[in-house]
Chain A
Amino acid sequence: MRRFKFVASKFALTNPQRRKIFGKITTGALATCVAAPLLLALPTQQAIGATPSNMLVVAQRIDDITTLDPAQSFEFSGSDVIRNVYGKLVNSNPADLNAGYEADLAESWEVSEDGKTITFTMRDGVTFHSGNPVTAEDAEFSLRRAITLEKTPSFILTQFGFTKDNIEETIKAEGNKLSITTDQKYATSFVLNCLTAAIGSIVDKKTVMANEVDGDLGNGWLLDNTAGSGAYKVVSWKPVESVTLQANDDFYKGAPAMKRVIIRHVQESATQRLLLEKGDIDVARDLNPEDVAGARENDNIKIHDELRGRLMYVSMNQKHPQLSNPKVREAIKYLIDYQGMQDSFLKGQYTIHQNFLPRTYLGAIDDQPYSLNIEKARALLEEAGVGEFEIEAGVREAQDRIEIAQTLQNAMAQVGITMKITVGTAKQILTRYRARELDFYVGAWGPDYPDPQTNAGTFAYNPDNSDEAKATGLLAYRNAWDPGALGAQTEAAVIEPDVDKRRAMYEAIQREFLKTSPFAIMFQKIEQAGMQKSVSNLVLGGAITAVSYWPVTK
């Protein structure tokens, strides 16, 4: 389009003048576009390079925290906080996690002759953050409270026969002693291992009861307040934003070196790595394999590997006509490319492990009889005589699980099994899994407490397999599997007092489980945390517990 050339007014601009003005505006606009972020940033006085030497800054996904009440919390990030805030009767030592439990707020304990009562003697001179002394009465209150509240993790205690109605007799404080009496004789190691879980945390009775509302035993108040005796107290928790911890200088094991610990929710792995490489954080907890590899190149950063308790498995619903055939189950275990997956998309994050007790648990075995063998799988399927069939696999929308499902789908296609993959949110898929509606499930399982029973009792135990039982918490139930004799053996193992015999029992259960169960356990989690070279003694908790900040130095 041609513009008007004639300009009559004496105020009008000539073409070159106009061009000049517009040219200036344009250049100005463009220059400002580019420079705006830079210019605006100039007056900042940001200390880039390092966090203070007595402060630990951690980037971690903490969107799973639902509460800080130890009687209710049952999530990974929640346990990470609670472990550093509360003392327990017995606890695991970050310096030697394999040793299991050791004395904490209880100095010593004795087991009665009938094996049902354990009497703890409380440690002297320990105080809560409030200044109140830690007494047997607090311990009594804490355990009774956890049972009375009936929140998710209460099963860890109620499995010993404690109920709301019997706690007056079964959990009793007397002077500086606390005695707990179980409904039958259990392996002492089983009871004490369970008391090291978050639910065994000892809360400050006076402080908690002062904040009780409508008989809630302080549950509402402890949602975002803490009343412990541990190394740290919580200053603030902002959901999906941050948790700030302040050191307790009166901690009975000595004041922690890190006076403040700040856990910041950083969702993206790439963002965590950037913060780490810039020195704005000390520890990055959720780096993906690419960012781990990238961060390794940086001379100021080290990668810390720790074996965790999480397992990846696939399972087959026994209501499915073909999957309930033992030959088909075995064939599917030969269709999994364990090595290939470990070496490719799971590299560094998972290691092959084929049984339900994670390594470092009492009774864990390292047998790995299965590997990818299409021919063998085909032969087994022919023996079974099932022909071609179709299954629906439920997968949560997590990249690694989808890739596992796809790898399996490929292998199955080679032997005439058509796998349809249904991807959904955690809730959608889990709801169907619990309702026994999925033929096939690609999932993960984390142990609930540091005793072999936690996994044996869900993978190999299902006393009532009927639909009416609704034992949706049991993995065996979710797959409609009746473990038969394994159930009874699991029951026997929890009451075996001799630790060596107990270990042997779990080993035997797992060897049978490996052959006959509809579960193919594939991998155990390795957590890779990136941290500044200056950070030492940070223990993430291994397979049995959560992170410990108090031994950390910088």
Chain B
Amino acid sequence: MTTAAGKPPPTEYRSGWTRGSIKLARVIGSVLVTMLGLLFITFIIGRVMPIDPVISVVGERATKEVYDAAYQEMGLDKPVLVQFFYYLSDVVRGDFGTSYLNGRPVADEIRRVFPATLELATIGTLIGIIFGVPLGMIAAVKRDSWIDQVARVVALVGYSMPIFWLGLVGLLVFYGILGWVGGPGRVGIFYVDIVPPVTGMILIDSALDGQWEIFWDAVSHIVLPASILGYYSLAYISRMTRSFMLEQLNAEYVTTARVKGLSEWTVIWRHAFGNIKVQLITVIALSYAGLLEGSVLTEIIFSWPGIGSYITTALLSADMNAVLGGTVVVGLVFVCLNVLSDLLYSFFDPRAK
């Protein structure tokens, strides 16, 4: 979606504004097409699955009349395409329907679970960036040294260790044995439901409310799962940083810079790093999007009521409205991050200006 070098306007009448709006229209158009495709495919999969959504609503002992009434009420007697358009017109109005499982509006449920994932994924990604980027840089600069080997092992372990195992062992050591961090859940049991939800992210809400005791309790609960997710993204980010850097360090302009007598620090941070920023943004955005999807296993181990476990529970109980709603939100997150990284490209990439 990125436009690397904007062509000069073909005519002098086409102002910057027009160009901007064409670009904007193109972005919005591609977002809409992507979302429509995603919705359609998910909807069709949901409809062809060998499950009966009517039974989820009326229960298996319902009489035939009750069953038929619900069948018609849910619009299941209509052709699939018609059903899809009904659904689409609801979604456009922000109505994802009600959950078959607990009778609540899916939109409300997602508003409740998504901030939990957002909070966890953001801190996890920050940890991944803060430690992953320098680690990858050092590994590249000190290629084949012991530091590079350590970085390789760290990344390999991060890649290959099953996350549920890491989570359980982490819990056992840091919570169970050492007692340094809070246990599963977002806050301790005494703090549940005390902070009024504003953003739904407990760290922010408690800070807004001036409830520092709760804030620190929430910190102690988020540290471990966020570190584990952070480690996972650190592994990925550091490996990618390393290979991007190596590519740059081998480039001729780096040699030139060194010959020019620039300090090694300037060569590495200003020249080489300056050139990998754009690629790094893609990597970080992808890893962030991956975490925002909700890491089901981490959420389960840490009893973290996020969107990953929400979609999984919905899927297992054939709660298709909830599954569709969750998928749309996850898809939207991906698309938004994509657009955001495009914007960042043009910010960091002088050619795109």
Contacts and interface: CB of A to CB of B under 8 A. Distances in A.
B318 A275 contact: no
Given A37-B224, A278-B175, A473-B60, A271 B184 contact: yes
A502 B112 CA distance: 52
A434 interface: yes
Nearest to A48: B179
B180 A155 contact: no
B104 A74 contact: no
Chain A residues touching B, range: 35 or more
A151 interface: yes
A40 B126 CA distance: 14
Contacts of B315: 425
Interface stretch (A176-184, A238-246, A319-327, A351-359): A238-246
Contact of B193 (A37, A236, A275): A236
Given A12-B264, A44-B219, A244-B192, A239 B104 contact: yes
A238 B234 CA distance: 33
A240 B131 contact: no
Contacts of A278: 175-176, 179, 183
Contacts of A431: 50-52, 55
Contacts of B127: 36
B326 interface: no
B189 A51 contact: yes
B264 A152 contact: no
Q: In this complex, which of A18, A66, A265 has the most chain B Cβ atoms within 10 angstroms of its Cβ? A: A66
A535 to B, nearest CB: 15
A121 interface: no
A426 B49 CA distance: 13
Given A26-B138, A264-B303, A152 B189 contact: no
B309 A240 contact: yes
Interface in B87-122: 99, 101-104, 109, 112
A99 interface: no
Contacts of A511: none
A194 B342 CA distance: 64
Contacts of A74: 59
Given A33-B131, A278-B183, A25 B138 contact: yes
Nearest to B299: A267
Interface residues of B, number: 82
A223 interface: yes
A46 interface: yes
A269 to B, nearest CB: 11
B301 A271 contact: yes
Nearest to A67: B103
A277 interface: yes
B180 A152 contact: no
B13 interface: no
Interface stretch (A1-9, A204-212, A364-372): A1-9
Contact of B101 (A18, A25, A57, A239): A239
A427 B56 CA distance: 9
A132 B191 CA distance: 32
A262 B190 CA distance: 10
Nearest to A472: B60
A408 B291 CA distance: 41
A78 to B, nearest CB: 10
Nearest to A274: B176
Contacts of A26: 138, 147
A262 B192 contact: yes
A425 B150 CA distance: 43
Contacts of A293: none
Interface string B146-187: 010010001000000000000010111011101111111100
Given A9-B261, A155-B61, A274-B183, A238 B217 contact: no
B158 to A, nearest CB: 11
A258 B174 CA distance: 31
B59 A29 contact: no
Contacts of B175: 274, 278
Nearest to A270: B168
A38 B180 contact: yes
B10 to A, nearest CB: 47
B143 interface: yes
B213 A45 contact: yes
Interface in A137-189: 150-153, 155
Nearest 10 pairs between A and B by C-beta? A152-B59, A8-B261, A44-B220, A9-B261, A427-B318, A427-B51, A241-B305, A473-B61, A41-B180, A41-B181
